[in-house]
Homo-oligomer: A and B are copies of this chain.
Amino acid sequence: MVDWRSSLLRDLGGWAKARGLTVDWASFADEWRAGYQPAMEPVRQGAVPFRSLDLLHREILERLLAKYGIAGISEADKDYINRVWHRLDPWPDAVRGLWRLKQRYIVGTLSNGNVALLVNMAKYAALPWDVVLCAELARTYKPVPAVYDLAPNLLGLPPQAVVMVAAHAGDLVAAAKAGMRTAYVDRPLEFGPGKEPHEATAGFDFVARDFVHLAELLGT
């Protein structure tokens, strides 16, 4: 739904510029994003109690601030930086596609982001979700099946009446195992120019260029 990488570069670039700091935000953003999968792993394995993505982001952030030599900043600044994940710009098609889908379907999240992160993101980016479902409600992280099961269970629907939409094939493979249908939305620039992922999309129920295309494929 959101172009997290460009958003981080723009937002944190502005923050640093106002303070006369020079930081390689592209590397910083990539490392921050890369730290998120390993940070979730002990929670998935039940080795530690559940902690929200906001908290995991903050733990990774502390390490990166040290690594990139950003020292002596206030708690308010750290909180501002950490909440950049609440201030992400939507991809150009996301809002329009959701509004079209929403006319006929329930549209909602099923994200590893926590409720506050997703609700603030929706307000910031004007994403008109009908419901915010996420890992936090299952107290574990995708791809643990309990997270996927939230959607049919809480919506009172059979799993095959729910379509998981994602830009990552692994997310859809796990959703299919939980009985859901699957829609892949291509985001070639998610990880920046020249880093287009090449994911196998055979076997998914829908493969869309963007959310407006997905809305067309789903008859809205």
Contact = CB atoms under 8 A, between A and B. Distances in A.
B156 A116 contact: yes
A116 B154 contact: yes
Contacts of A108: 119
Contacts of A157: 116
Contacts of A125: none
Given A123-B130, A130-B122, A130-B123, A116 B54 contact: no
Given A132-B131, A132-B132, A137-B137, A54 B156 contact: yes
The complex is assembled from copies of this chain, and their number is 2
A166 interface: no
Interface in A114-148: 114-116, 119, 122-123, 128, 130-132, 136-137
Chain A contact-residue range equals: 10 to 19
Given A54-B156, A136-B154, A119 B130 contact: yes
Nearest to A106: B119
A155 interface: yes
Interface in A78-107: 106
10 contacts: A106-B119, A106-B123, A108-B119, A114-B154, A115-B131, A115-B154, A115-B155, A115-B156, A119-B131, A123-B130
Pick the 8 closest A-B CB pairs, nearest first. Answer: A116-B156, A115-B154, A119-B131, A131-B132, A116-B155, A119-B130, A106-B119, A122-B130
